[in-house]
Structure 1
Amino acid sequence: MTVLKTSVFVLDCAEPEPLARFYAELLGAATGPAPGDGELILVTDDSGAVALGVRRDPNHVTPSWPAPEGPQQAHLRILVAAEALDEAEREAVALGARPLSAEEDGSRPDDRTTLRRFSDPAGHAFVIAAVHEAPAAHGADR
């Protein structure tokens, strides 16, 4: 018998509340404490599905990526319809994301037609990637 499981991608940072709000606004989601885990804030969509978690780590060191001497570690990939890529970039920047140039992250400048690279307010890497079909929403229509 397989044990029922769920997973959540967790970002560690020094100040989890503002980072959780950043991702909630960027993803059109909400934040709340994880049941039974006072250290974890969950970012959830309208159906209650967990998009990611944010956890306080007072000793957190911001990733050095895209600096060549530092690995990217992990990154979040946010999927949007191809025609919404520019608008999604504007939303991310307005919420506090820092765009990363092709020179900073080692990519080709022509990659910007299909994805945009950013660091969130706590320095974690994420990309907004264009898909040819609109991404499926979990739960209710938005």
Structure 2
Amino acid sequence: MRGSSMSALKLAAYAIDCADPRRLAEFYGRLLGWQIDEEESGDRWVELADPAGGAPLAFQLDPDHRPSTWPDREVPQMAHLDVRVDTLDEGHERAIGAGAVQLPQPPDQLDASFRVYVDPEGHPFCMCAAQ
């Protein structure tokens, strides 16, 4: 947008719908090493503050939330997080230790540099090896 008079945009938050915002925020806090921002959080919305100053990861109450059935498309994933780690083994230990469940690796990607997990509410995410 070179030469445009429009102001720059900044991502305010990445929000994930879920049945229990506090529980899911605590899971991702363990996984990422981030802290809950209590000043920005309540019963229906809980934010994790990015210690590097980036946009927070937020969890929003959706009482009708249904877990994704990925890779089956009955309840598709709408988005997913990719978390970069030094090694897949380190990422695996971190994910399992935080309470994630590893999903089977897609058959066409057995040698891929990522592994797929689901969080406690069924949202898929990937642990990706640093390139």
- TM-score calculated relative to the size of structure 2: 0.81
CA shift for structure 1 position 38: 6.1
Partner amino acid for 1:28?
G
Q: How many Å apart are 1:45 and its aligned residue? A: 2.6
User: C-alpha separation between the residues in 1 aligned to 2:89 and 2:56?
Assistant: 22
Call closer, same or farther: CA 1:131–1:38 in 2, change over 3 Å.
same
What does residue 48 of structure 2 align with?
43
Percent of pairs identical after alignment?
Answer: 35
Q: What is the match of residue 137 of structure 1?
A: none
Q: 2:17 touches 2:62 (CA, 8 Å); kept in 1?
A: yes
Aligned pairs, how many?
126
**Cα distance, 1:68 vs. partner?**
4.5
Q: Is the CA contact 1:119–1:126 (under 8 Å) kept in the aligned structure 2? A: yes
57, 61, 65: which one aligns with 1:52: 57
Q: Give 1:6 deviation, angstroms.
A: 2.8
Structure 2 unpaired stretches of 5+: 1-5
Q: Quick check: 1:33–1:40 contact (8 Å CA) kept in 2? A: no
Q: Following TM superposition, by how much is the alpha carbon of 1:66 offset from its aligned partner in structure 2, in angstroms?
A: 1.9
Q: In 1, are the aligned partners of 2:14 and 2:55 still within 8 Å (CA)?
A: no
Matched to 1:65, the amino acid is: W
Contact 1:24 1:44 in 2 (8 A): no
Is 1:18 aligned to residue 17 of structure 2? no
Structure-to-structure mapping, 1:114-129, within 5 angstroms: 114-129=113-128
Q: Structure 2 vs 1, CA of residues 34 and 2 (structure 1 numbering), >3 Å: closer, same or farther?
A: farther
Quick one: structure 1 residues 72 and 18, their matched pair in 2 at CA, closer, same or farther if it must change by over 3 Å? same
TM-score, scaled to structure 1: 0.76
Higher strand share: 1
Can you list the C-alpha shifts for 1:58-95, whole angstroms capped at 9, x where unaligned? Answer: 111111212244433210000112xx320121111121
Q: 1:103-114 residue pairs with structure 2 within 5 A?
A: 105=106, 107-111=108-112, 114=113
CA distance in 1, matches of 2:80, 2:98: 18
Alignment match, 1:7: 12
1:61 and 2:86 equivalent? no
